[in-house]
Amino acid sequence: MSKVKRQALHIGLSIVIVVLGVLGMRALTASRPRIKKQRPTVPALLVRTISVESKTQRVSIHAEGTVRPWKQVDLASEVAGKVVMVSPNLVNGGWFKQGDVLVRIDPIDYELAVTLAEARVKDAESNLKVVCADAEAARQEWRRFNREQSGNACDPPPLVAKEPQLRAAEARLKAEQAELERARLNLKRTRIWAPFDGRVAEETVDVGQYLAPGKAFATLYAGEAVEVVLPIETQRLAWLKVPGFTSGSGPGSRAVVHADIAGKKLSWPGRIVRAEGKLDERSRMINVVVRVERPYAKRPPLAVGLFVSVDMAGRFLPNAVLIPRAALHEGRVVWVVGKDGLLRFRKVDVALVQQDKAILRSGLKTGDQVVITPLKAVTDGMRVHVLPEDQEAGR
């Protein structure tokens, strides 16, 4: 067989094979069953819900601040001298009572000043008696002379009666008496007393040290009460009663101060007593002051400088609903599941959002099932499956 015939035979076989393949594929395709289009079923999401209750709620405002002294003074001497005694209670953290002698200055110079002032007073008294006697003698001599000359015993003129000398002697006596009082007062000031019951914050004095008048050597603060300064947004003040700032009279709102100290969680009752004089220009907040009485009555105490949290009892809000903050979406939308198992978007009126809670004025009623499960993709009207409480507890 020639080369040309062999090539023609190969080409013919190839064409036959291709035709047979095409015919076989068409036969297989024609015998295949047709696939019906179906909408895929989306499984219902599992969600957790809470049943809400509409009732009168008391609004509580939460804030944080630092404990500071209710009353604090810098102790300084009013007289100069060397310190000869320091109370053992005058140490950082020491306690003292009102009237306790905390520091004593050497009194010798001031005792001598009192003795000299007493001597000058005696001299002035003696001088006044002499001047009074001379003035009386001059008046009698004048009356006798006028009676002999004219038969009329009239009073002498002021110069004859030595009235200027008499007034000068009286003024000198008063001046010396004033100097004596000042000397006695300075002697008394050599003992520096505690002005109130309290505690020592710091001190810089010891025996042998020379104190100058007006130079502070210790800082004291009262122990009968402390204050907590709390920055609060002006809008939230509408819920509180702040004497001298909000409307109305009477005492301020009650408060509870919480602190973690020495491994314990403790609380102390307090009350709002005032607001500070001006708003903070940067934060636009106003500082509200809460006072706590007898902070050292229990141990550990509510110590000055401690960072605390405070819950202040505000006014009541009728027909309000309390929900977790996480259940609030876009600021004023909650997800509610109806009896039909469909999730619905519900707009609500938010009265206050604070920490992990939100208080609603309206939008929900008692018995509504609010979704608390975080979901990424949610549509209004989607079907959900509520997780039973027993399964939820076993999670």
Are 184 and 208 in a shared domain?
no
Q: Are residues 292 and 244 in the same domain?
A: yes
The mean pLDDT of the chain is 87
Tell me if 40 is assigned to some domain: no
Give yes or no for a contact between 94 and 200, defined as CB atoms under 8 angstroms apart.
yes
Amino acid at 159: L
Q: Which domain holds residue 149?
A: 107-189
Q: Tell me whether residue 119 is in a domain.
A: yes
Whether 232 is covered by a domain: the verdict is: yes
Lowest mean pLDDT among 123-137, 138-152, 283-297, 350-364: 138-152
86 neighbors 200 (Cβ within 8 angstroms): no
Are residue 227 and residue 174 in the same domain, yes or no? no
Q: Quick check: is 43 in a domain? A: no
209 plus 159 within the same structural domain: no
- Residue 393: predicted pLDDT: 38
Q: Above 60 in pLDDT, residue 395? A: no
User: Are 146 and 112 in the same domain?
Assistant: yes
Instruction: Say if residue 88 is in the same domain as residue 164.
Output: no
- Taking residues 262-269, what's their average pLDDT? 91
pLDDT at 31: 66
* pTM exceeds 0.85, yes or no: no
pLDDT, tens only, 232-261: 988 888 899 999 888 878 899 999 999 998
Under a CB-based contact definition with an 8 Å cutoff, are residues 121 and 175 in contact? no
Are residues 200 and 251 located together in one domain of the fold?
no
Instruction: State the pLDDT confidence band at 354, using cuts at 50, 70 and 90.
Output: confident
Q: Tally the domains of the chain.
A: 3
- Assess whether 125 and 169 both reside in one domain: yes
